[in-house]
């Protein structure tokens, strides 16, 4: 009878299996957990599909362009200062052919008085000895406008580089923009998180406003270096993002207006 209740003796093979099981079971569990967590993160990762990868490439494009000039790279609109230096300075720095010189307020005064639209038309189509687009047909209208504004503002004008006169956004659009801003954009543009231009940053917004609304809309919708597309919220439609930009520009303009007398008083 006693033999029946006696436990079976463990063979050496069973002992080794039990030992391995004891050692490896936790390890396998840990590996499974890691694989699981990586699976979740993979699902959230930005660069999973080719389309997403393309979007990431688009976003980091300016870095590549700055490092190497790739003839196949998509065209990036240059700033007014860049276009001025590369094209317009050839005449407007020296006054060649009788061109009004950069920063020469006297030479520019009467011309500026013609108004933005006339100046822009002359810069794009040419005017007497001033060649169309400064002689560079590759320049886009916006690039010419920016260069023109860069020059005229240095001589006392207060223009914005816009192609079409932008209608003042309605109160309704601004209210919608304010709501979108508060919900999505404020966390970076109120705080300056990751280098976002704070609405109170007068200098940054003066420069941004000069780029024109079309540029700002595009930057906000498609994203920029550090600025996520649609503020990181894919559910936002173009109209909502644009309304938020309208609101931001209005707020920034008020900050600029409020800061201007202070800046003059503070100038030593
Ligand atoms: C080849 C020389 C040359 C280049 C390059 C040049 N300009 Fe001019 N620009 C002139 C001359 C000359 C005038 C004066 C024309 C006149 O009033 O007879 C002028 C005048 C202007 C005016 C004033 C027009 C007016 O109505 O009084 C603007 C605006 C202007 N240029 C913009 C530009 C911009 C922007 C660029 C660069 C994209 C540029 N120019 C490049 C020669 C040049
Ligand atoms: C996660 C932070 C973050 C959020 C959220 C965010 N932005 Fe930005 N945004 C940035 C940063 C950073 C920049 C500066 C990028 C640069 O220097 O090019 C920027 C720049 C911009 C610019 C200027 C473009 C330029 O050339 O710099 C606009 C316009 C803009 N954001 C609009 C918006 C709008 C509209 C929203 C909300 C729908 C929003 N942003 C939400 C981080 C953010």
Domain coordinates in residue numbering, the chain: 80-154, 171-263
Ligand 2 atom closest to 181 (CA)? 37
Average pLDDT of every residue of the chain: 82
Cα 197 to ligand 1 centre (Å): 33
Q: What digits encode the pLDDT tens for the residues 105-133?
A: 999 999 999 999 999 999 999 999 999 99
Q: What digits encode the pLDDT tens for the residues 38-62?
A: 666 655 544 456 666 666 556 555 4
* CB-based pocket (< 6 A), ligand 1: 83, 87-88, 90-92, 96-100, 111, 114, 119, 122-123, 127-131, 133-135, 139, 144, 147-148
Q: Kindly identify the ligand whose nearest atom is closest to the C-alpha of 223.
A: 2
Q: Kindly identify the ligand whose nearest atom is closest to the C-alpha of 83.
A: 1
Q: Which CATH superfamily is domain 171-263 in?
A: Cytochrome c-like domain (1.10.760.10)
**How many residues belong to the chain?**
268
| CA–CA distance, 114 with 189 (Å, rounded to integer) | 37
Domains 80-154 and 171-263 share a fold: yes
| CA–CA distance, 59 with 222 (Å, rounded to integer) | 8
Work out the pLDDT band at 68, boundaries 50, 70, 90. very low
Pocket perturbation via mutation, ligand 1, pick of 106, 126, 134 by most ligand atoms within 8 A of CB: 134
Contact 206, 256 (CB under 8 A): yes
Cα 202 to ligand 2 centre (Å): 15
Cα 124 to ligand 1 centre (Å): 10
Contact 83, 139 (CB under 8 A): yes
CATH 1.10.760.10: does it fit domain 80-154?
A: yes
Q: Kindly identify the ligand whose nearest atom is closest to the C-alpha of 142.
A: 1
Q: Kindly identify the ligand whose nearest atom is closest to the C-alpha of 104.
A: 1
* CB-based pocket (< 6 A), ligand 2: 180, 184-185, 187-189, 193-197, 208, 216, 219-220, 224-228, 230-232, 236, 241, 244-245
Q: What digits encode the pLDDT tens for the residues 126-177?
A: 999 999 999 999 998 899 999 999 999 999 999 988 876 667 899 999 999 9
């Amino acid at each position: 009878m006693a033999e029946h209740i006696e436990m079976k003796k463990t063979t050496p093979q069973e002992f080794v299996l039990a030992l391995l099981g004891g050692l490896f079971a936790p390890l396998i569990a840990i590996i499974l957990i890691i694989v699981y967590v990586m699976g979740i993160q993979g699902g959230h990762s930005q660069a999973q599909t080719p389309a997403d990868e393309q979007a990431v490439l688009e976003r980091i494009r300016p870095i590549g362009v700055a490092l190497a000039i790739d003839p196949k790279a998509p065209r990036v609109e240059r700033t007014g200062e860049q276009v001025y230096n590369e094209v317009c300075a050839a005449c407007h720095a020296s006054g060649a052919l009788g061109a009004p010189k950069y920063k020469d307020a006297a030479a520019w005064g009467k011309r500026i008085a013609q108004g933005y639209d006339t100046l822009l038309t002359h810069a794009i189509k040419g005017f007497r000895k001033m060649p169309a687009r400064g002689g560079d047909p590759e320049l886009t209208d916006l690039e010419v406008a920016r260069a023109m504004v860069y020059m005229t503002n240095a001589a006392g004008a207060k223009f914005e580089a816009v192609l079409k006169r932008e209608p003042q956004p309605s109160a309704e659009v601004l209210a919608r923009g304010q709501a979108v801003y508060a919900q999505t954009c404020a966390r970076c543009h109120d705080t300056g998180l990751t280098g976002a231009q704070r609405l109170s940053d007068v200098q940054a917004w003066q420069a941004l406003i000069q780029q024109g609304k079309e540029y700002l809309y595009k930057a906000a919708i498609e994203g920029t270096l550090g600025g996520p597309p649609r503020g990181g919220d894919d559910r936002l439609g173009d109209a909502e993002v644009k309304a938020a930009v309208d609101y931001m520009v209005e707020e920034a303009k008020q900050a600029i207006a409020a800061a201007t007398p202070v800046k003059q008083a503070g100038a030593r």
